Amino acid sequence: MIRLCLSVAVLGLMLTTRALAAPSSSVAWTTETVALIRSGNPVTGKQLSYGCAGCHGTEGLGVSPAYPHIAGQDAFYLFKQLQDFKDGSRDNPQMTGIVASLSERDMADIAAYYAAMQGAAPVRGSSHSAVVDLVSRGQGSRMIPACSGCHGTGGKGNSGYYGMPVLAGQKAVYISIALRQYRAGDRANDVYSVMRAIAENLTDNEITVLGKYYATQDPRQ
Ligand code: HEC
Ligand code: HEC
C-alpha cells in the first residue's frame, strides 16, 4: 500500500514537472525547418487551401471579426501556427480539425501561398498619442517593451526574427482576442512566454486600443 501511494505520488510529481516543463511549441528554427519553409510551393499551397476559404476568404482575408486575416502574413509565422494547432500547442477547436491531416510539407506550401498574397487594406481611423507611444517606446516602469522593436514599425513585420507576425491591417477584434488569450494564459504557444509576459501588464483599455491601432496600419506600404 505504501509502495502504491509512493508510486502514485512519484507519477503525480513526474506529470507536474512534465506539464511545467512542456515546451510552448515544438517548432524549432533548425536549418531543415527553415529550408523546408523557404521551399514552400504556393501552387500546391493553393490546392490545399480550398477548405480555408469558408473562414479566411478566397483572398486570405478573414470573413468575421474573430477570423484573422492570413494574407501577407509572414511564412515562418504561418507555418509555426499550423504546426502548433496540429500538435495542440495552440488550442482552437475550429483550427484543430482542419490541420489534422496536413504534413509539414503541406504546411510549408500553404504558408508560401498565403504569405505571397496581398495583405488587408487598413481600416480608417486615427490613433491616440498614448497608444503610439506604447507601441513605439513601450513603458519601462510597467515592463512593457516597445511592440515595434519586435513587430516592426507599424506592425509591418520583422524578417530578422523567425516567426514574427505582421500585425498591420489585422482585425482589431482578433488582435484583442489574441492579447486577452495571452494575458489569461489560454494561448501559450509563444516561445519563452514572450507575449504572455507582455500581455500580463496590459489593461483592458490598452488591449482594445492596440487592436484598433494595428487595424489602421497599412501592411502593404
Ligand atoms: C471554421 C473556420 C475556419 C476554417 C475552415 C479555417 N480556419 Fe484558420 N482560424 C480560424 C479561427 C477562428 C482562427 C483564430 C483562432 C484563435 O483565436 O486562436 C484561425 C486562425 C488561423 C491561423 C493563425 C493566424 C494568426 O494570426 O495567428 C492560421 C495560420 C490559420 N487559421 C490558417 C488556416 C488554414 C491554412 C486553413 C485551411 C487549411 C484554415 N485556417 C481554416 C477559423 C478557421
Ligand atoms: C520581444 C519581442 C516581442 C515584443 C516586444 C512584442 N511581441 Fe507580440 N509577438 C512576438 C512573437 C514572437 C509572437 C508570435 C508568438 C507565436 O509564435 O505564437 C507575437 C505575437 C503577437 C500577437 C499575435 C498575433 C497573431 O496573429 O495571432 C499579437 C496580437 C502581438 N504579438 C501583439 C503585441 C503587442 C501589442 C506588443 C506591444 C505591447 C507586442 N506584441 C510586443 C514577439 C514580441
SS percent in the chain: helix, strand, coil, step 5: 60, 0, 40
User: For residue 115, what are the contacts with CB-CB under 8 A and spacing of at least 6?
Assistant: 40, 72, 73, 74, 75, 78
Domain end, chosen from 115, 140, 165, is at 115
Give the number of the ligand closest to the Cα of residue 57.
1
User: For residue 177, what are the contacts with CB-CB under 8 A and spacing of at least 6?
Assistant: 66
Ligand 1 centre to CA of 67 (Å) is: 7
Do 111 and 58 share a structural domain?
yes
pLDDT at 108 > cutoff 80: yes
Give the number of the ligand closest to the Cα of residue 117.
1
pLDDT at 7 > cutoff 80: no
Residue whose C-alpha is closest to residue 179's, from 53, 61, 57, 68: 68
The cell for 6 is 509512493
Ligand 2 atom with least separation from CA of 144: 38
Ligand 1 centre to CA of 53 (Å) is: 10
The amino acid sitting at 151 is H
Domain end, chosen from 115, 146, 168, is at 115
For residue range 123-181, what is the model confidence (pLDDT) as tens digits?
Answer: 999 888 999 999 999 999 999 999 999 999 999 999 999 999 999 999 999 999 999 99
Mean of pLDDT values over 32-45: 98
Is residue 21 in a domain?
no
CB of residue 78 inside a 6 A radius of ligand 1: yes
Of residues 23 and 147, more confidently modeled: 147
Atom 22, ligand 2: residue with shortest CA distance = 178
Look at the chain and report how many structural domains it folds into: 2
pLDDT category of residue 19 using cuts at 50, 70 and 90 = very low
* Predicted local distance difference test score (pLDDT) of residue 3: 54
Q: How many CB atoms lie within 10 A of CB 5?
A: 9
Domain end, chosen from 55, 88, 115, is at 115
CATH number, residue 101: 1.10.760.10
* Predicted local distance difference test score (pLDDT) of residue 221: 77
The cell for 94 is 475550429
* Predicted local distance difference test score (pLDDT) of residue 127: 84
Above pLDDT 70, what percent of the chain?
A: 90
* Predicted local distance difference test score (pLDDT) of residue 10: 47
Residues framing ligand 2 (Cβ under 6 A): 68, 80, 144-145, 147, 149-151, 163-165, 167, 175, 178-179, 189-190, 194-195, 198, 210
Do 104 and 60 share a structural domain?
yes
The whole domain housing 98 covers 31-115
Mean of pLDDT values over 77-90: 98
Do 186 and 149 share a structural domain?
yes
Atom 2, ligand 2: residue with shortest CA distance = 150
